[in-house]
Amino acid sequence: MDFPILGKLINGKRNTFLDTAASAQKPLVVVDAMKEIYLEEYANVHRGTYSLSEQITYKYEEARKKVQSFINAESKNEIIFTRGATESINLVASTWGRKNLKKGDEVLISEAEHHANLVPWQALKEELGFELRIFQIGDDGSFIWESFVKNLNKKTKLVSVTAMSNVLGVIFPIKKLCAEAHKFGAKVLIDACQFAVHYKIDVRDIDCDFLVFSGHKLYGPTGIGVLYGKYDIIEKMPPYQFGGDMIEKVSFDFSTYAEPPARFEAGTPAIVEAIGLAKALEYVENIGFENIEAHEKSLINYTNEKLSKVAGLRELCRIKDKGGVFSFVIDGVNSQDIAFVLDKEGVAVRTGHHCAEPLVARMGYHSVIRASLGLYSNEEDIDCLIDALIKAKTFF
């Protein structure tokens, strides 16, 4: 079994894991690769002239090349390793944003953003005085092109949006969106945390200026993420943090900084995690995104059909074409109470606002249940979810 944890009994029941949108389970190839490094190959990277350091440096930089290939970036130097998508967005806000945004400018985001793609811009707005504009989504959770376009203007300096909502599952037309934003001279940042798990990414085809994702959602380890940036943009950005490995020359009078990506990777990086991420990407590529998409599309249709038959269940997003995220409430029952009963049946779902509190409030709720799919999910998982939901309703 590629994912041994899925064979573990939960409260004596089958492990029905439906929380991949929060963090995916890890295949054995990732765990084994990281274990091997710690047991037999570990050293620090870049500065050692001994064999272990040279070997691990090679593997670390090969991991960067794997990410480059995975998203079809033009150069490995456009790939910056971070602790996750949250740090990646904060890096852009703290460097590009602080250098390029000023009073009178506008940053445009959607109502569907995760806190990680809202709060950094709010904080920077308070510091610099630019305007943060929010374009609306539909009452059914859909992307509204007209709402996006009417908020674009010559003052728009950055559009920062999700590619796929972690609450609604709605998929944004990111290629078309980038083309439209570029007509106004705006840069575009894509939060691909959810999207990258399910769909192939080609940053050159999308033509985004920045793109971020996290390793732990993509079947890789925690503590590692990616920031992609077009090189002509990131080479003009100032450092995000200061210390070892990001410098070119240091004296007591002044310091100069390395070229990207080293400029943005101060200190000892997440060496083993980066290599683990590369293994996870390799694992996904070996399965093939065309196979993942076909499997998940079939399972999404199956899930929609099953959920529609649960009396009193209301989904937040009711559009046909969306990703494998299902957020819902059951009339008259607290979401946390439902989740408690589901856990007793071995079914793992998430409740709350899912780090998208303004979005959940805009849809009319303060807490919702979310079930989310991964490549290991199957129809039996959905059947277990439905049976557990029906059982839960009998308690309340």
- Give SS3 for 227: strand
Q: What is the pLDDT of residue 320?
A: 84
Torsion sign across C-alpha atoms 276, 278, 282, 285: positive
Contacts by residues 62-65 (CB-CB < 8 Å, ≥ 24 positions apart): 62/278, 63/274, 63/275, 63/277, 63/278, 64/261, 64/274
Q: Where are the alpha helices (DSSP H) in 322-365?
A: 335-344, 357-362
- Angle value at C-alpha 71, between 1 and 326, nearest 5 degrees: 60
Q: What is the pLDDT of residues 286-327, one digit of tens each?
A: 999 999 999 999 999 999 999 999 999 999 998 988 999 999
| Residue 274 and residue 268 in contact, taking contact as beta carbons nearer than 8 Å | no
How far, in Å, CA of 240 to CA of 110, rounded?
A: 26
- CB half-sphere exposure, 207, CA atoms < 13 A: 11
Torsion sign across C-alpha atoms 376, 380, 383, 387: negative
- For residues 7-22, one letter each, b for 16 or more C-beta atoms within 10 angstroms of the residue's C-beta and e for the rest, the string is eeebeeebbbbbbbbb
Bridge partner list, 106: 131, 156
Q: Which residues of the chain have pLDDT under 70?
A: none
Which DSSP string do the residues of 275-326 spell out, in sequence order?
HHHHHHHHHHHHH-HHHHHHHHHHHHHHHHHHHTTSTTEEES---SS--SEE
How far, in Å, CA of 86 to CA of 171, rounded?
A: 20
How far, in Å, CA of 161 to CA of 188, rounded?
A: 8
- Give SS3 for 59: helix
> Among residues 178, 208, 317, 355, which one is catalytic?
355
Which stretch of DSSP H or E encloses residue 384? Answer: helix 379-393
The structural domains of the chain, ordered by start, are 4-19+288-393 (3.90.1150.10), 29-286 (3.40.640.10)
Q: What is the pLDDT of residue 393?
A: 84
Is residue 208 part of the annotated active site? The answer reads: no
Q: What is the pLDDT of residues 143-154, one digit of tens each?
A: 999 999 999 999
Phi-psi region of 205 (alpha: psi -120 to 50; beta: other; left: phi over 0): alpha
How far, in Å, CA of 82 to CA of 97, rounded?
A: 17
The pair of three-digit structure tokens given for residue 142, joined into one six-digit string:
């859909």
How far, in Å, CA of 254 to CA of 267, rounded?
A: 19
How far, in Å, CA of 183 to CA of 152, rounded?
A: 10
| Residue 234 and residue 208 in contact, taking contact as beta carbons nearer than 8 Å | no
Q: State how far Cα 254 lies from the chain centre.
A: 37
What is this structure's pTM? 0.97
Q: State how far Cα 353 lies from the chain centre.
A: 16
The pair of three-digit structure tokens given for residue 395, joined into one six-digit string:
């308690």
Strands 225-229 and 79-82: antiparallel
- Angle value at C-alpha 117, between 111 and 317, nearest 5 degrees: 35
Residue with tokens 């993420």: 225
